[in-house]
Amino acid sequence: MKYYILLIVIFAFVLGLGFFVIAALSQSAADITENFEKISTAINNEDWQKANAEFLLVKEKWDRHKKWWAMIIDHHEIDNIDTSFSRTNEYLNHRNPALAGGELSVLKQFIKHIPETEKISWENIF
Amino acid sequence: MILLIIKTTILYFVVVIAMKAMGKRQIGQLQPFELVVLLIISEMAAISMQNTGVPITSSIVPIITIVILQVFLALLNLKSEKARVIICGKPTILIENGKIREDELRRTRINLNDLLEQMRAKDCFNIADVEFAILETNGHLSILLKSQKRPVQPEDLNLETKYEGLPTNIIIDGQVNHANLERTNLDENWLKQELSKRGIYSIKEVLFASLDTSGNLFVQRKAGAGGNNI
């Protein structure tokens, strides 16, 4: 009986950890992407100084969250996000609104996509 | 993480059901084509178990297909002698009438050391004692010793022997097997009486009890309750 209880406790712990990871991923993805609207508006208004400042804040948040994301998600996904960050940074430096806006949208999609892939749904299982 | 747990659990049960559907065989008894099927199934299951990007259906569908093909081949094997020869091959006689067949050893790519090793595994240490050695289709070696070298049978000595059937398990881990008790035309009252004769007053104290065909009851207590054979 002791072993059954131990097994159930370990299983419940792993399950709990799993649910915690899903919630934490959603929260941190929302945290990283919350300034994206401001950057997008700044790009549309060609306010490059503000766009760069906001983007720097986003990059700092990403660098903070990236450390623990790497323990959970596919490293290929992290490489995609890093690549997209570099591209957006270059487009902002070259003050190209079309490319910067497009790449920012791709970056947002890459980040929002991560918690989606971890959610429990029929599409993700089957 | 939760997805990995769910996918692993589903695939675990799919693989267990698939293995059950393929029949009762141990790894050592598998035919070569059955071993291949086992390897493919485990590989298929692992693909979507470890990768959340791969849908589980891409593992389940191939596993079901392989199981269907495997059961079909097994049925074909059962029904047709020709199919059996093609799929499983034929047993090979490596020692015939006490003589090693070099041509068959070469054909099956088995050297003399391998042959001696397999014979030793069958408790046969002298090749001169062997009348026939047959390499079965699953890779096992079957040995028939020369008549002068095989163990003596009661029939050789014209001895009468009593009937020996399988002992019936009556109690396992403190639980009475009522079906077996009924099959031997006995009841729990008889069992309790027999146990009390041995100083056991609760069935829970018994680890194992069995009844042989001569009517002898073997009882072993649990470690906490004495743990001795009575």
ipTM: 0.70
Test A120 with B6 for CB contact under 8 angstroms: yes
Tell me which amino acid residue B214 is: S
- Cα separation, A32 vs A83, in Å, equals 16
Q: Which pLDDT value is given to residue B102?
A: 93
User: Is A125 within 8 Å of chain B by CB?
Assistant: yes
pLDDT (mean) for B37-57: 85
Reply yes or no on whether the pLDDT at B71 is more than 70: yes
pLDDT (mean) for B62-83: 87
Which tokens sit at A70? 């790497």
* Candidate from A2-11, A68-77, B25-34, B61-70 with smallest mean pLDDT: B25-34
Which tokens sit at B182? 């009924």
Q: Which pLDDT value is given to residue A61?
A: 92
Of A18, A72, A126, nearest to B57 by CB-CB distance is A126
* Candidate from A108-112, B84-88, B143-147 with smallest mean pLDDT: B84-88
CB B134 within 8 A of CB B92: yes
Block residue for tokens 């004692």: B129
**Which residues of chain A neighbour B174 with C-beta distances below 8 Å?**
none
Q: What percent of chain B has pLDDT over 90?
A: 37
Position B28 confidence tier, pLDDT thresholds 50, 70, 90: low
pLDDT (mean) for B29-38: 79
Q: Which pLDDT value is given to residue B25?
A: 66
Chain length of chain B: 230
Å between A38 CA and nearest CA of chain B? 32
Å between B55 CA and nearest CA of chain A? 5
Reply yes or no on whether the pLDDT at B227 is more than 60: no
Those residues of chain A that have pLDDT short of 70 are none
**Which residues of chain A neighbour B57 with C-beta distances below 8 Å?**
126
Test B1 with A120 for CB contact under 8 angstroms: no
Which of residues 79 through 98 in chain A touch B, CB cutoff 8 A?
none
* Candidate from A81-90, B1-10, B137-146, B164-173 with smallest mean pLDDT: B1-10
Q: At what angle do helices B81-88 and B57-79 cross, to 10 degrees?
A: 130
Tell me which amino acid residue B136 is: E
* Candidate from A70-79, B176-185, B218-227 with smallest mean pLDDT: B218-227
CB B177 within 8 A of CB B211: no
Block residue for tokens 């980040």: A111
Block residue for tokens 């499983």: B88
- Cα separation, A100 vs A116, in Å, equals 25
Q: Which pLDDT value is given to residue A91?
A: 93
- Cα separation, A118 vs A20, in Å, equals 11
- Cα separation, B50 vs A46, in Å, equals 45
